[in-house]
Structure 1
Amino acid sequence: MNEKNKILVIGSANTDMVISAGHFPKPGETLIGYDFMTNHGGKGANQAVAAARLGGDTAFICKLGDDSFGHSIMEMLRKEGIDVSYSSVSDQASSGVALICTIPSGENSIIIDSGTNGLLSPDDVMAAEPLFAEAAVMLMQLETPIDTVIKAAELGKKHGACVILNPAPAPTGPLPEALLRNVDLLIPNETEAESISGVNIQTDEDVAKAMDEIQKLGVKNVIITVGCKGVYARINGKLVKVPAFKVKAVDTTAAGDTFCGALCVSLCKGNNLEEAILFANKASSISVTRRGAQMSMPYLNEVNV
Structure 2
Amino acid sequence: MIPLPTGHIAVIGSINVDFVCRVHRFPHAGETMHVRSATTGLGGKGANQAVALARLGSVVELAGQMGDDPLAQVARTAMTDAGVGLRFVHTETGGETGRAFITVNDAGENQILVHGGANMTLRPDDVPALARVFDGARVVMMQMEIPPDIVVRLCDQARTQDMTIIVDPAPVPPDGLPDALFTLATILTPNETETQALTGILPTDATTARAAAAILHRRGVECAIIKMGARGVFHSRRDGTDGFVPPFAVTAVDSVAAGDCFGAGLARMLACGAPMEQAVRYAAACGALATTRPGAADAAPTAEEVEALLDRQGPRP
TM-score (norm 2): 0.91
Taking the TM superposition and a 5 Å limit, the aligned residue runs for 1:177-196 are 177-196=179-198
The Cα shift of 1:195 comes to: 0.8
| 1:242 correspondence with 2:245 | yes
The Cα shift of 1:126 comes to: 1.0
Taking the TM superposition and a 5 Å limit, the aligned residue runs for 1:2-81 are 5-81=7-83
C-alpha separation between the residues in 2 aligned to 1:18 and 1:200?
Answer: 28
Larger mean Cα displacement after TM superposition, 166-175 or 206-215: 166-175
| 1:289 correspondence with 2:292 | yes
The Cα shift of 1:4 comes to: 5.3
The Cα shift of 1:48 comes to: 0.8
Tell me the C-alpha RMSD between the 2 structures: 1.6
Residue deviations 1:27-57, cap 9 Å, x none? 1000111121111000111011111110111
Larger mean Cα displacement after TM superposition, 200-209 or 159-168: 200-209
Show the counterpart of 1:256.
Answer: 259
C-alpha separation between the residues in 1 aligned to 2:246 and 2:67?
Answer: 40
C-alpha separation between the residues in 2 aligned to 1:155 and 1:282?
Answer: 31
| 1:265 correspondence with 2:268 | yes
Helix, strand or coil at the partner of 1:192:
helix
Helix, strand or coil at the partner of 2:86:
coil
The Cα shift of 1:203 comes to: 4.6
Residue deviations 1:104-152, cap 9 Å, x none? 1010111111111111233223113332131111111111001110111
Show the counterpart of 2:312.
Answer: none
Show the counterpart of 1:278.
Answer: 281
Show the counterpart of 2:203.
Answer: 201
Label 1:140 to 1:240 Cα distance change in 2 as closer, same or farther (>3 A).
same
Larger mean Cα displacement after TM superposition, 145-154 or 128-137: 128-137
Which residue type is aligned with residue 212 of structure 1? Answer: A
The Cα shift of 1:80 comes to: 1.9
The Cα shift of 1:202 comes to: 4.4
Show the counterpart of 1:169.
Answer: 171
Could you list the runs of 5+ residues in structure 2 that have no partner in the other structure?
A: 309-317
Residue deviations 1:154-186, cap 9 Å, x none? 111111110110000133333223222211100
C-alpha separation between the residues in 1 aligned to 2:139 and 2:80?
Answer: 20
The Cα shift of 1:25 comes to: 0.8
C-alpha separation between the residues in 2 aligned to 1:65 and 1:129?
Answer: 20
C-alpha separation between the residues in 1 aligned to 2:7 and 2:186?
Answer: 17
Taking the TM superposition and a 5 Å limit, the aligned residue runs for 1:80-99 are 80-99=82-101
C-alpha separation between the residues in 2 aligned to 1:230 and 1:80?
Answer: 29
Label 1:27 to 1:262 Cα distance change in 2 as closer, same or farther (>3 A).
same
TM-score (norm 1): 0.95
Residue deviations 1:172-210, cap 9 Å, x none? 333223222211100000111111112243453321121
Q: Are the counterparts in 2 of residues 92 and 116 from structure 1 also a CA contact under 8 Å?
A: no
The Cα shift of 1:298 comes to: 1.0
The Cα shift of 1:282 comes to: 1.3
Q: Are the counterparts in 1 of residues 199 and 215 from structure 2 also a CA contact under 8 Å?
A: yes
Residue deviations 1:255-294, cap 9 Å, x none? 0110001110111111111111111111121111111111
C-alpha separation between the residues in 2 aligned to 1:200 and 1:291?
Answer: 27
C-alpha separation between the residues in 1 aligned to 2:233 and 2:207?
Answer: 14
Residue deviations 1:233-257, cap 9 Å, x none? 1267343210111111011110011
Label 1:302 to 1:238 Cα distance change in 2 as closer, same or farther (>3 A).
same
